[in-house]
């Protein structure tokens, strides 16, 4: 079978002003799958094997391998998985977590395990905070560390331009959280307002988006402001941070407007993509 592992953006991402629980800050975020996708081919096999095509190599702690081991508790099952990478790695777009969620869904079916979507999401939470969301796809509210996922009505179709700079930050997640200041913590009300808009069927607009890491990212990633400026120079109205960065995105009022920004974009490096939002059904599609 062939499955797709879509990237995500965060419409909102709030870090709540509460003491960390078990070493983790609590977040409230609305996440959205988009049509920049990795693809996975899963075939029966005597043992588990993984092959990765693209700028990434599978290591012993790779999320795909860990996802397979989680389902194959006790051993005895095999499969061959080929991952074709298109989502930039460590960019804040969730590619590794999406690949892991696709493997959970695919092997659950291939091996006839019969786990429910909710159970797969619970298992995914032990792999990474974004994995449960990718089990559902579409538009969803995530809370806690990201493990509590509430599917939402699908956001209206939205076009955007993604820009992934070739900027790296060792131990990114830990350092980004450590750099947050009191003024960066919020009470979750921005996310609540966004959820109300989604449930009312209102279109997504720049004014409703929020990301607690935006200030930190532009301080932590050298030259990130140059990529923001390139998007603005290409005609973007506003520029937003994807996850904890360094990827950026800009909304287009329609496909033509987003395409015009994409075609005019002249970044100092990195990868740019024209993308649109995906519903849950689109995000979870598969081919025989």
Please list the rounded mean pLDDT of every run of 10 residues in the chain (288 residues): 97 87 84 97 90 67 86 86 94 95 96 95 94 97 94 97 95 91 94 97 96 95 96 98 96 97 96 97 89
SS (H, E, C) 204-221: CCHHHCEECCHHHHHHHC
The pLDDT value recorded for residue 21 is 66
In a domain, 286, yes or no: no
What's the CA gap between 203 and 182, in Å, rounded?
A: 31
Do 135 and 181 belong together in one domain? no
Number of domains forming the structure of the chain: 2
The closest alpha carbon to 10, from 37, 32, 34, 35, belongs to 32
Q: Which ranges in the chain belong to alpha helices (H)?
A: 63-71, 95-110, 117-125, 131-136, 172-178, 189-199, 214-220, 224-233, 255-264, 280-283
The pLDDT value recorded for residue 56 is 57
The pLDDT value recorded for residue 187 is 94
The pLDDT value recorded for residue 73 is 81
The pLDDT value recorded for residue 59 is 52
What domain range is 14 assigned to?
2-153
Residues with a known catalytic role: 8, 130
36 DSSP assignment: E
The pLDDT value recorded for residue 48 is 86
In a domain, 283, yes or no: no
Which residue has tokens 């979507």? 117
The pLDDT value recorded for residue 196 is 98
Do 20 and 149 belong together in one domain? yes
CB 124 within 8 A of CB 99: no
Q: Distance of CA 87 to CAs 83, 111, 165, 200, 275, Å?
A: 11, 27, 12, 31, 12
The pLDDT value recorded for residue 61 is 53
């Amino acid at each position: 079978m062939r499955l797709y592992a879509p990237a995500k953006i965060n419409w909102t991402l709030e870090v709540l002003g509460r003491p960390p629980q078990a070493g983790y800050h609590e977040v409230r975020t609305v996440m959205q799958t988009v049509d920049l996708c990795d693809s996975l081919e899963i075939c029966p096999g005597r043992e588990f094997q993984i092959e990765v095509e693209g700028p990434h190599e599978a290591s012993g702690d790779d999320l795909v391998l860990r996802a397979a081991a989680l389902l194959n508790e006790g051993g005895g099952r095999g499969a061959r998985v080929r991952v074709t990478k298109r989502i930039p790695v460590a960019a804040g777009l969730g590619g590794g977590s999406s690949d892991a969620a696709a493997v959970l869904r695919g092997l659950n079916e291939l091996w006839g395990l019969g786990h429910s979507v909710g159970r797969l999401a619970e298992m995914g939470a032990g792999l990474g905070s974004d994995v449960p969301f990718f089990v559902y796809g579409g538009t969803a509210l995530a809370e806690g560390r990201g493990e509590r996922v509430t599917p939402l009505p699908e956001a209206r179709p939205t076009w955007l331009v993604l820009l992934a700079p070739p900027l790296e930050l060792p131990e990114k997640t830990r350092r980004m959280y450590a750099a947050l200041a009191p003024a960066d913590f919020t009470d979750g009300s921005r996310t609540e307002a966004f959820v109300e808009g989604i449930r009312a069927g209102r279109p997504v607009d720049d004014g409703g988006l929020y990301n607690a890491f935006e200030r930190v990212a532009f301080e932590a990633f050298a030259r990130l402001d140059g990529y923001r400026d390139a998007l603005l120079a290409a005609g973007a109205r506003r520029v937003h941070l994807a996850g904890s960065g360094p990827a950026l995105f800009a909304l287009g009022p329609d496909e033509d407007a987003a395409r015009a920004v994409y075609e005019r974009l002249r970044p100092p490096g990195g990868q740019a993509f024209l993308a649109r939002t995906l519903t849950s059904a689109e995000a979870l599609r598969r081919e025989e």
